Amino acid sequence: MFKVISMFSILLSFSLSAEVDHIRVLFQERPYENVVVAFTQFGKSEEQAVVYFDEVSRSGKIDGYAKKQNFNIKRLYHGQNKAFVVARKLTGLKPATNYYFTIKVGNVTSREYYFKTAPKDLNAQFKLLFGGDSRSDRVARKSMNHLIRDLVQKNGDILALVHGGDMVWDGAEWDEFSVWLSDHVETIGRDGKILPLIVARGNHEKDALLFQDIFVLENHLSDAYYVTQMGKLLLFNLNTNISHKGNQRKWLLSKLEELPKEHNWLLANYHRPAWPAVKSPGRALKYWVPIFEKYQFDLVFESDGHVLKKTQPIFERQLDYEKGIIYVGEGGMGVKLRRPRTNKWYLEGPGYATSKYHVFMLDVSSSKMTCSVVLKNQSIYDSFDLNPRKRPLL
């Protein structure tokens, strides 16, 4: 009898995954009112996919949900002939609110999941996780995903995971992304809580169209640079795979020129470092760093190096405790680690560089930001505070 029940459970699980797989939630520009829900569907199906959602749990009973919407994006992943991306942008949501949802395709219904929208209140307090480079070593990547899941379970105010790129080794291969997406599902909490993704494109994401499909970067977001607004925080997600000098730089300047003064936390997230711990500086050093310094960004996240780093506060290529910007990151979410070049001046104390798997956890309030480095064993390697800057130029 036990064997029969077990076999039935396996078949049911396979049937569900064949219809609704790789479920993910994406934060893009205004996640306090709009989010994208997406999943993968294998094989051609004429059945309409529907998302049922509500502000209270309905335990997956679709007749109980207050709202439902048809998924209005369905197409083959770029270069694919069997796997479809299915997505819907949910609009008009309430800020800082839990939304519970269930997906139904034909006669197949998913379990119930939930996410929390970003706050719009300028005095809101919340947390973000930052990391990058989760390619190549699947065992380490899954361990980091379990760390993320545990952190979210322990810290209910973590809103999203900000990923600095290089999810996979060959970003032109759907099969690699399919495995990455399957592993990412392991960040979902046991209670169904999904941690939304905010993504930047890395150099290993070779196929721009496939990257757009996976993370549903539609229309004006297709070049994979955009600003995400959460409370008083503005996060500029930039693309180091395209021109730093052209339209992207013009867009960055235009967004900063129209900044409301009350948004007093300015952050950037991109892949190739301006102040590297392993490689030579990327083009961000020439084209973006002067902008970060002019507008006095509070913190910049970089990936690509496969190490853990924190620079000195840098302003005009020297240590400056008043106007300097700290650059952190370099990507340690599962990729094989490298040995950093610790003889660079900007990595001297209070900066550092070492080889450790890690994520950064940012605790944001209107009066202070605390940035902590969490290692794979959940220990805190480093923590530092930032106070709001005075920006006379804004």
Share the mean pLDDT of the chain: 93
Q: What pLDDT score does 7 carry? A: 38
In this predicted model, which residue has the larger pLDDT, 259 or 355? 355
126-386 CATH choice from 2.60.40.420, 3.10.20.30, 3.60.21.10, 3.40.50.300: 3.60.21.10
Residue-wise DSSP of 280-326: ---THHHHTHHHHHHTT-SEEEE-SSSSEEEPPPEETTEE-TTT-BE
**What is the C-alpha separation between 120 and 118, in angstroms, rounded?**
7
Identify the band that residue 4 occupies on the pLDDT scale cut at 50, 70 and 90: very low
pTM of the model: 0.93
Do 160 and 198 meet the contact criterion of CB atoms below 8 Å apart?
Answer: yes
Q: Please, is 329 exposed, middle or buried when counting C-beta atoms within 10 Å of its C-beta (0-12, 13-18, 19+)? A: buried
What's domain 21-116's superfamily in CATH?
Immunoglobulins (2.60.40.10)
Q: Are strands 299-302 and 73-76 parallel, antiparallel or unpaired?
A: unpaired
Identify the band that residue 16 occupies on the pLDDT scale cut at 50, 70 and 90: very low
279-333: per-residue pLDDT in tens? 999 999 999 999 999 999 999 999 999 999 999 999 999 999 999 999 999 999 9
368-386: per-residue pLDDT in tens? 999 999 999 999 999 999 9
Q: What pLDDT score does 263 carry? A: 67
Identify the band that residue 391 occupies on the pLDDT scale cut at 50, 70 and 90: confident
- Tell me the domain boundaries of the chain: 21-116, 126-386
| Cis check: omega of the bond before 350, within 30 degrees of 0 | yes
**What is the C-alpha separation between 304 and 335, in angstroms, rounded?**
10
Identify the band that residue 2 occupies on the pLDDT scale cut at 50, 70 and 90: very low
**What is the C-alpha separation between 384 and 300, in angstroms, rounded?**
14
Average pLDDT over residues 121-149: 95
Q: What pLDDT score does 20 carry? A: 86
Average pLDDT over residues 29-44: 94
93-109: per-residue pLDDT in tens? 999 999 999 999 988 99
